[in-house]
Amino acid sequence: MIAFALPDPKTDNPLAFRHYNPDEIVLGKRMTDHLRFAACYWHNFCWNGADMFGAGSFERPWQAAGDALEMAKRKADVAFEFFYKLNVPYYCFHDVDVSPEGASLKEYLHNFAVMTEVLAEKQQQTGVKLLWGTANCFTHPRYGAGAATNPDPEVFAWAATQVVTAMNATHQLGGENYVLWGGREGYESLLNTDLRQEREQIGRFLQMVVEHKHKIGFGGTLLIEPKPQEPTKHQYDYDVATVYGFLKQFWSGK
């Protein structure tokens, strides 16, 4: 494990802290409580080096052909070795970053249950904590027309199952937050979009998320991530102001 070195404002080392001291008190809290550094699972361990113009170029043992669940366990071995050696206090993930989606909902639930136990063991061994978990409701083709806003009830139900399962896992792993990002919640054209229907549908979805949080006793914070035009041209979580207005509408301003 890399030991923490006291900050040096005059250092020329680009990998050294100049001002950050985890135990220094700022406004009544330690810096480490203000700045909860985390390593993400997806960019670090799921990307295969592909871009818009070329195929993946990384040769990673956990991305080799083989049993998907065993590859996920191998990925977890590498990930937690990385977190531990760099002395990173937190990590974060989407459900399918850490667990194979499988060919059916039954396989998804089984795989995620197995990997949640694996992650719990890794956290116990290393002391690394979960900053937040979330569900990937945007990559699979089923979400091309939205997840919570999708007009197909089966797609809506699948997205709800992913969110419930991911929040349960986050709770089990002691996660401090749960993140919601609606990358596919939006529209390309108003010609085939019922804005009122879609907004009410995602509003109800978020209310269900809050209800489930309280039902299972999850004490973490629910976070919504605004991000404009990635990948949808017109997204309902476009920016902070848009999300704030949406929440005021569906939660009576509370």
Which of 223, 95, 219, 97 has the alpha carbon at shortest distance from 165? 95
The Cα–Cα gap between 96 and 85 comes to: 24
Is residue 154 within 8 Å of 109, Cβ to Cβ? Answer: no
The Cα–Cα gap between 51 and 39 comes to: 21
Residue 214 is a catalytic residue? no
The Cα–Cα gap between 225 and 233 comes to: 16
Query: What is the distance, to the nearest Å, from the Cα of residue 16 to the centroid of all Cα atoms in its chain?
Result: 28
End-to-end CA distance of the chain: 45
Element holding 178 (H helix, E strand): strand 177-180
DSSP conformation class of 133: E
CA 225, 221, 35: angle at the middle one, nearest 5? Answer: 75
Residue 19 is a catalytic residue? no
**94 backbone dihedrals φ, ψ, rounded to 5°:** -95, 155
Looking at 95, 97, 171, 237, which residue is catalytic?
Answer: 97
Looking at 94, 95, 171, 237, which residue is catalytic?
Answer: 94
Enzyme catalytic residues:
94, 97
